[in-house]
Each structure stands twice: as C-alpha cells, then as structure tokens.
Chains A and B, each alone.
Chain A
C-alpha cells in the first residue's frame, strides 16, 4: 500500500493547516461547498496517492507550462507532490531505460487504478512513424497505457480535437485521443487549457473519485458549459450594438465588443472570461484582442482570426460565405433583369402582331 495524501504531505513537511487549506482549495475546485471540506479532508487522509502517468505526444508542452502556473500554488505543489507522477517526459528526472521502467512498473502495480493524462495528438498515418518514443509509436504507447487506466484526461486541444497538427491537410494523420481508445476520455481543450481548469479537473477526479459531469463532446460542463461570449464583461456592448470597428479606434479604447474584429467568443466554449489567466489577471478580450477560439475543434482551419466567418474554401483568404453570397445574389438580380429585358422586347413583338391582326380584321 502506498501512502495517503495526508501522510505524504506530512512527510514533505506540510503543516496540518497547509493540508486543510489544500483540502479547501481542492473542494472549491471540485465544485463542493464549505461543507464539502470535511469530506475532502477525510478522503485525503485515507485515500492512497493515485498513480499518474502524463504522456506527451504531438504537442508543444504549452499544457504543462500552463498547468504549473495555476493560481493556487499550494494546490499545484501539493498536486504535483500528492500525485505519484510516475512518468512525464518533461518533468521527470529519470531518462532512458529508467524512465521506461518507471512507466512499466506504474502500469503493472496499479492496474485499474492509475490515471492517464495525455498531452498531444497521436499521428496515425504511415504506421505512426511521425511520433515515436523509445522505438515505439505514440499510438501503441497510448494503447498500452490506456488499457488498465482508471481515467483518461486529454489535455489541451491537440489531445481533444487535434489542434494545429490536425489542421488541413493533416499530413501526419494527427488524431484526438478519444478516437483511439474505447474508454471515456475527459476532454480539456484549449491551446493551452486554463491552468486552474486543469487543476480543477484533476482535483475533481481525486476528490470525488469520479468523472465530472461532461457535455456531448466530453468536456467538463462546469468549465466548458458556457461560451466565452456569454460571460464576457463586454457582452452588454454586443447587445447594445456597440462594436469596435477597427483596431485602436475610439470604440476600442472604450472597450466595446470585438465581434466585428473577428472575436470567436460567440462560438467558443471555455471559462476564460470567468476564471481568466495568470492568476485571474486578464484574458484575451480584456486585453483588447478577440478570442481566436483555441479550445474549439478546427480553429486553425476556420480563420483568419480577424474575421468571424471562416474563409470560403477555394476563393482566397478574404472571401467569406457572405461575400460569395453577395456576388451570387447580385448575379441573380442581373440575370433576372436581363431576362426581363428580353421578355419585354419579345412582348412588344407579340403586342404588335396582335394589333396588326386587329387592324386587318377591322
């Protein structure tokens, strides 16, 4: 038996007060109220430290970078300490065979109990040669680690929906994790996801021992249930029809809505405008830039970022469905007008003929 979370924290020199603070933060992150703290503390006193493996495939490590910047350092410290983070390429001291052994041992000794965190997409083209670790393809590694996992979390857009690697034409066949494993995967999209959201999702798993409530594409509802737009502090300007018309105009200085500048807030489900970034300092829209929709599937293929309708394929960068539509509409009008002219010319003839006949008869 491994140590419980409390035992391990105690050994590391955390005080009981630190532990309870951690429990309170964890309870809050898991969506429990004040009354839930005792439940959390009780669980952490008894519960064995969960073993965690953090896999890195086709990614840029921005998810890890984000994670270690969560705004409650005590929670991150504690999480990194309390989790038996037995394998993570970027943070672990071990390397080579030692690292491989650590991974194998974790899988062997914690069957059905360990948690898999995956950062990055998995390439599937050409036998998966585009991402290999220790001579094995990312896909085969994923299959091995996911086989006996208690839970799988897909960190970031790469693992959740493919992100930039899966952008057209997706040369490596980058595939989201949920399409490769036959178990439910918690998707935590974003490029990167918000640190506090990542922390909260892990905490939820630890504290309650079950998945958070998920939406129809397996994102935790508590963080991805609302659009950036719906919780945006600039939203009243949208309903009032007050928009920034060009960068740095008077309206931008007044903080009007960035909708016309291509802000993807209205189609992006994330908690940016509530949780914010960098210890709650700001988020893109607050800093005067539209949302680029980084947590949505295919955001790279639906650009440009400064246009809120995606470009019409095959018509150049600036042509949206509406520009094409306007051209088609005008062409239709012109066609109809030409038809009307021809019709009237012919009608003149018919009328003339009828008149001629009338005169002949009279």
Chain B
C-alpha cells in the first residue's frame, strides 16, 4: 500500500487527462451481500412494526373484533422478522470466520494501530469534511466497521429485551433463555422501555448509514453504492502496488 499523501481532489483532477488506472476488487461476496439486504429488510420491517405496536394507528375498518386482525398481523410480522434477523446475524457471524479478508471478524474491531488512525482520518473527512489523505480501506473503513460492531451489540441487547418480553408467555426454549432480563431491568416496564430506546438507535443508524454510504461514494469515487449490489469495488492500481 502506498501512502503517497495525494489529496483525493487530485483524483478528480486527473479524470480524463492523466488516466488513473483502477482495478476491480471483489469485496463483498454473495453471503455478505445477502446478509446486508436480508438484514436491511428485516430491520426496516422490525422498526416499522415495532413503532406500530407502540403506537397503533386509528383504523376502524370494521366495528367488531372478529372482522379484522391487522394488529395481530403487525405483531406476527415483528416476531417473524426478528427470527429472520437473528438467524441472518448468526450466518454472518459464521462468515466472519470463513469469508474473505474484507468479511473477517477482525475488521470490525480497531485492534491495530492503523485501524485506529483510519478512524481519526475518517471522522475528519466525514464530520469536518477535510480532504482525505492517503488511501482508505477497500472493505469497511475502520470507523464504519467499528460502528457496525456497536450495532451488533445493540442488536444483542434488542434480542435479549425482545425475547425477555415474551419469554414468560412462550413455550419455546430459546426466548425462555432470556427470562433473567425481566427482573434485572425492573420488570417488564423496564424491558419495554429499553426495547423502545434501542429502536431509536437503529432508526438513527439507518439514516446516517445510508447518507454516509452515498457520501463516501462521492468522496472516494470508487463505487461504494454499487458494491453492495454487485460486490465489486475499485482500487487505484497505484495504491495496490
């Protein structure tokens, strides 16, 4: 990896005239992309149905209970999506050990000094909008990866509180593993409270995540957005050498 220190603007400058050579890199393997989109779909379904469960809207299609079941369906979708989300997460966890180097579990933790430096660099580029110096990771940048790690933690908390909320009424052994969370959080009031708080974490995450994906697509100029569909990103040949 070269650290030429060439500002990102020079990349734009060189467009057309002194052609920069780019190389295709297969970054996101199919299981990673599948994970991303299944996760996104389940998360959106969970957020919407979760919000609706907290704040059901006024729908008086029919005056008698036997004539409709929409709220039951909302809850069903919530629980079903939760299972999809969980199983999908475990699949990704497995892929973190067997997948390519961009999918490895170590990328999510800033264990190396270079990762921590990149976090500072990316914060500067994202928040202060300074120019990026030097190349940025081709896979997850260190900051994004660490934030994904935080979402995994919050997801685990959401899993615990969610299962705890129906553990008492469930005959299934898996939710019942989380019964201990109810007394720990001061009864189901507390569990429900935290389950709502974490919902908003995910809402904010989704907003920022989508925006930053577009933002990095622009500042890096190497197909961040399309990579999550096709899997390919681009690296300047100069950087690879």
List residues of A whose CB falls within 8 A of some B CB. 161, 215-217, 225-227, 230, 236-243, 245, 251, 254, 259-260, 264, 267-269, 293, 296-299, 301-302, 308-310, 320-322, 324-326, 328-329, 332-333, 336, 339-340, 342-343, 346-347, 350-351, 353-354, 357-358, 361
Contact count band on B: 35 or more
Residues of B within 8 A of A259 (CB): 56
Known: A267-B189, A297-B187. A325 touches B17 (CB 8 A): no
Nearest Cβ on chain B to A288's Cβ, whole angstroms: 17
Of the listed stretches B29-37, B60-68, B140-148, name the one at the interface; the rest are far from the partner chain. B60-68
- Are B129 and A241 in touch, CB under 8 angstroms? no
The answer to whether A241 and B189 have CB atoms under 8 Å apart is: no
Note all chain A residues with C-beta closer than 8 A to B68: 240-242
Specify the chain A residue showing the minimal Cβ separation from B167: A216
B4 sits at the interface (CB 8 A): no
Please state if A329 and B207 are interface contacts (CB–CB under 8 Å). yes
Nearest-neighbor residue (CB-CB) of B74 within chain A: A241
Q: Is the CB of A354 within 8 A of B15?
A: yes
Query: Which residues of B from 83 to 123 have beta carbons under 8 Å from A?
Result: none
- How far, in whole Å, are A324 and B10 apart by their CA atoms in the complex? 43
A269 to B165, alpha carbons, bound, how many Å? Answer: 12
Surface stretch bound by A, among B151-159, B197-205, B229-237: B197-205
Contact B56 A260 (CB under 8 A): yes
Inter-chain contact A325/B200, CB cutoff 8 Å: yes
Q: Output the least CB separation between B75 and chain A (Å).
A: 8
CB distance from A26 to the nearest CB of B (A): 28
| Residue in B closest to A264 when the chains form the complex, CB atoms | B189
Q: Could you say which residues of chain A place their CB within 8 Å of the CB of B215?
A: 339-340, 343
CB pair A328–B187 under 8 Å, yes or no, is no
Instruction: Report Cα–Cα, A358/B18, bound state, in Å.
Output: 11
Chain B residues in 8 Å Cβ range of A239:
65, 69, 71-72, 75
CB <8 Å contact, B168 and A310: no
Q: A239-B71, A329-B204, A332-B207 are in contact. Are A230 and B12 (CB under 8 A)?
A: no
Some 28 contacts from A to B, beta carbons below 8 A apart, are A216-B179, A238-B71, A239-B69, A240-B64, A240-B66, A240-B67, A240-B68, A240-B72, A241-B68, A242-B65, A267-B187, A297-B186, A298-B190, A302-B189, A302-B190, A302-B193, A310-B189, A310-B192, A322-B54, A329-B203, A332-B203, A332-B204, A340-B211, A351-B12, A353-B13, A354-B13, A354-B15, A358-B17
- Whether A299 contacts B129 in the complex (CB less than 8 A), given A332-B204, A358-B17, comes out as no
B200 touches A298 (CB 8 A): no
CB nearest to B210 among chain A residues:
A336
In the assembled complex, B124 has its CB within 8 A of some CB on chain A: no
B56 touching A243, Cβ below 8 Å: yes
Give the one of B55, B59, B200 with max A CB within 10 A: B200
Query: For the complex, would chain B's binding face be called helix, strand, loop or mixed by DSSP majority?
Result: helix
Pair A309/B208 contact, Cβ less than 8 Å: no
Q: Which residue of B lies closest to A295 (CB)?
A: B187
Name which of B9, B55, B66, B187 has the most chain A CB atoms within 10 A of its CB. B187
A242 to B72, CA, bound (A): 11
Which residue of the partner chain B has the closest CB to A229?
A: B169
Query: CB distance A298 to B56 under 8 Å?
Result: no
A325 contact from B59, B199, B218, Cβ within 8 A? B199
A309 B204 Cβ-Cβ under 8 A: no
Instruction: Give the complex CA separation of A159 and B9 in angstroms.
Output: 70
B61 CB to nearest chain A CB (Å) = 8
Residue from B13, B182, B197 within 8 A of A321 (CB atoms): B197
Tell which of B65, B71, B199 has the most Cβ of chain A within 10 Å. B65
Residue of B nearest to A243 (CB): B56
Q: CB < 8 Å: which of B9, B55, B200 contacts A329?
A: B200
How many Å from the CB of A346 to the closest CB on chain B?
7
Say yes or no: is B5 at the interface (Cβ < 8 Å to chain A): no
- Interface bits B35-51 vs A (CB < 8 Å: 1, else 0): 00000000000000001
- Taking a contact as CB atoms under 8 Å apart, the answer to whether A241 and B192 are in contact is no
A238 to B65, CA, bound (A): 8
Q: For residue A226, which residue of chain B has the nearest CB?
A: B169
> Do residues A241 and B71 form an inter-chain contact, with CB atoms below 8 A?
yes
CB distance from B20 to the nearest CB of A (A): 13
CB distance from B217 to the nearest CB of A (A): 11
Measured in the bound complex, the distance between the Cα atoms of B211 and A340 in whole Å is 8
| Minimum C-beta distance from A219 to chain B (A) | 11
Contacts of A268 in B (CB 8 A): 188
A245–B58 CB distance below 8 A? yes
B61 nearest CB neighbor, chain A only: A241
Q: Are B200 and A296 in contact (CB under 8 A)?
A: no
Least CB separation from B68: chain A residue: A240
B16 interfacial contact with A, CB 8 Å: yes
The 5 closest A-B pairs by CB, nearest first: A325-B200, A241-B71, A302-B189, A236-B65, A267-B188
Hey, which chain A residues are within 8 Å of B207, CB to CB? 329, 332-333, 336
In the bound complex, residues from chain A placing their C-beta under 8 Å from that of B204 are: 328-329, 332
Cβ-defined contact, B13 with A357, below 8 A: yes
